[in-house]
Amino acid sequence: MAEEQPQAKDDPAVARKRPKPGERRIQILQALAAMLEQPGSERVTTAALAAKLGVSEAALYRHFASKAQMFEGLIEFIENSVFSLLNQIAQEPLDAPDKLRRMLTVLLQFAERNPGMARVMVGDALVFENDRLHQRMSLFFDKVEANFRQVVRDVPGTTPTPTVDAQALASVAMAFTIGRLHRFARSGYKRSPLEHLDASLRWLL
């Protein structure tokens, strides 16, 4: 019988494909977001996350020092995505009410397209996590409201108290947006945050 030859280390049948630098980190965040979309995922454990990825828990911690850092990675994605969209709208040649409607709409569209992120945004996914994550999401909504306020404030000479009125309208728009996000998350993603949006915005703005 012929002697069996050992396979070379670079043989595709033997060598495991290693993720490119940064790729595993992205895979971890994608898996975490996907798990947050599932019913009963109020608390995602690192053991369950590692099992989903087919790696050890130790492998997760080679890319993130803690689970809180994983959630911070999701929040950073939310911030970068949303503020990039809002900044684009701020530069569009639209009047103030249309800009505000567009900002509200793209924020809700982002949540609908990323249900796991929606649960992070409203805090449901952060209930058992580090307080600084809640603080960061609170700061996120403060910045969104500031974007709303700036758009309304840019309208010249429409009211004798533009600053106060801008603050009031931005606050109402923010409360409306957060309410839609909460309803979407708590309905198990059955109630679209875009449901009857145009009609609602006609009453609001």
Burial call 123-148: b when 16+ CB within 10 Å, e when fewer: bbbbeebeeebeebbeebbeebbebb
Quick: pLDDT tens for 127-139. 888 899 999 999 9
Question: Is residue 205 predicted with pLDDT exceeding 80?
Answer: no
pLDDT at 12: 44
Domain assignments of the chain as residue spans, ordered by start: 66-204
Quick: pLDDT tens for 140-192. 999 999 999 999 886 554 555 667 888 999 999 999 999 999 999 999 899 99
CATH class of the domain whose range is 66-204: mainly alpha
Quick: pLDDT tens for 7-18. 444 444 434 456
Question: For the whole prediction, is pTM greater than 0.85?
Answer: no
Would you tell me the crossing angle of helices 96-113 and 67-90 to the nearest 10 degrees? 150
Going by C-alpha positions, the residue among 105, 109, 107, 96 that lies closest to residue 169 is: 96
Q: At 7, give phi and psi (nearest 5°).
A: -80, 145
Quick: pLDDT tens for 45-72. 899 999 999 999 999 999 999 999 999 9
d(CA 20, CA 13): 19
